[in-house]
């Protein structure tokens, strides 16, 4: 039983290391530098302020959807060439679907 526990802990640690490595591969170097300087300053106060209106919440959601597309595009371009086109198409389709449903998603997460 202890052997299984060690295996699970080892796998979890490996997954965390892979996630950190994947993040550094998908984030452009200039963004990594900016992120590191921001982390050193602590969390920005804006993270703890709710968007004042439904329109502001929707703008924030659209920014997040756009950022997710940018990260997906970078990850696709770093993946195998044979899968790149399909990966980019799927990323774009997800982006379009999320943008089309942004108002509904925002309303579900921020009911007023």
Buried residues in 30-43 as b, exposed as e (16+ CB within 10 A): eeeeeeeeeeeeee
Q: What is the pTM of this model?
A: 0.56
State residue 92's pLDDT score: 96
Express as a percent the part of the chain with pLDDT over 70.
74
Task: Classify residue 80 as left (phi > 0), alpha (psi -120 to 50) or beta.
Answer: beta
State residue 54's pLDDT score: 83
Higher pLDDT, 13 or 69: 69
Does residue 12 have a pLDDT over 50?
A: no
pLDDT tens, residue by residue, 45-86? 877 877 678 888 889 889 999 999 999 999 999 999 999 999
State residue 24's pLDDT score: 52
Round to whole Å and give the CA distance between 27 and 22.
9
If DSSP codes are grouped into helix, strand and coil, which group holds residue 106?
Answer: helix
Q: What is the mean pLDDT of the chain?
A: 78
Instruction: Name every residue whose Cβ is closer than 8 Å to that of residue 94 and which is 6 or more positions away in sequence.
Output: 68, 69, 72
């Amino acid at each position: 039983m202890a052997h299984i526990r060690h295996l699970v802990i080892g796998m979890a640690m490996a997954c965390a290391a892979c996630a950190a490595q994947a993040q550094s591969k998908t984030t452009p170097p200039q963004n990594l530098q900016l992120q590191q300087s921001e982390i050193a300053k602590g969390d920005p106060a804006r993270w703890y302020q709710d968007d004042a209106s439904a329109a502001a919440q929707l703008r924030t959601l659209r920014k997040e959807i756009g950022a997710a597309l940018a990260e997906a595009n970078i990850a696709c371009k770093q993946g195998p060439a044979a899968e790149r086109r399909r990966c980019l198409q799927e990323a774009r389709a997800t982006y379009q679907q999320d943008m089309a449903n942004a108002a509904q998603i925002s309303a579900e997460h921020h009911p007023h």
